[in-house]
Amino acid sequence: MSHKKPVSVLVVIHSPELDILLLERAAHPGYWQSVTGSQEGDEALIDTARREVAEETGIAAAAADLIDWQQRNVFEIFPEWRHRYAPGVTHNVEHVFSLEVARDTPVRTAPDEHLGHCWLPLADAAAKVFSWSNRDAILALPQKRRR
């Protein structure tokens, strides 16, 4: 069994009006989040972000469309998911990105990962996500997005 790398991306997908796309986790109904996923092998983080966006939403984003915030969050991996990592790994380093798309962009969620999706105004989305790092990224979006 190969272990997941404790390095991941968080991609906040938003409309020009700052509506936020959220995904509901299949393994935890009621848990909403932005796109997240682990880096594979030696892929560049921007490629991890592009791959995860495509896998989780069906949106094909060019590297130039993503904004790398140059921000890292370190958090403890939930005990129920630690078996996916090498023995003794307890923390993950998450790299934050954002992606602006039109509100009517078609979204196709991965049924094995997500039950569905919704678009919410920024404050509502920040209140709905279960992760503190996702909440903080959503709240920081107005300052981080391209002008």
Q: Which tens digit of pLDDT belongs to each residue from 67-119? A: 999 999 999 998 988 999 999 999 999 999 999 999 999 999 988 999 999 99
Residue 80 labelled as part of a binding site: no
Asked if the model's pLDDT at residue 147 lies above 60, the reply is: no
Residue with tokens 């630690």: 82
**Per-residue pLDDT, 78:** 87
- Output the pLDDT for position 88: 94
52 appears as a binding residue in the annotation: yes
What is the reported pLDDT for 145?
A: 80
Share of the chain above pLDDT 90, in %: 92
Residue 4 assigned ligand-binding role: yes
User: Which runs of E-coded beta strand occur in the chain?
Assistant: 7-14, 19-25, 32-33, 35-38, 66-76, 91-100, 114-121
Domains of the chain listed by start with CATH number: 7-144 (3.90.79.10)
Q: pLDDT at position 83, please?
A: 92
Of 109, 92, 132, the closest CA to residue 9 belongs to: 92
Q: Distance between CA atoms of 77 and 131, rounded to whole angstroms?
A: 11
Beta pairing, strands 19-25 & 32-33: antiparallel
As a whole number of angstroms, the distance between CA 126 and CA 8 comes to 20
pTM value is 0.94
Cross-strand partners of 17? none
- Confidence band, pLDDT 50/70/90 cuts, at residue 142: very high
* 75 annotated to bind ligand: yes
Cβ-based burial of 8 (10 A; exposed 0-12, middle 13-18, buried ≥19): buried
The reply to whether 90 sits in an annotated binding site is no
Residue 17 annotated as binding site: no
Res 146: pLDDT: 66
**Three-class DSSP category at 46:** helix
100 is in an annotated binding site: no
- pLDDT, position 37: 94
Find out whether 56 is annotated in a ligand binding site: yes
138 is in an annotated binding site: no
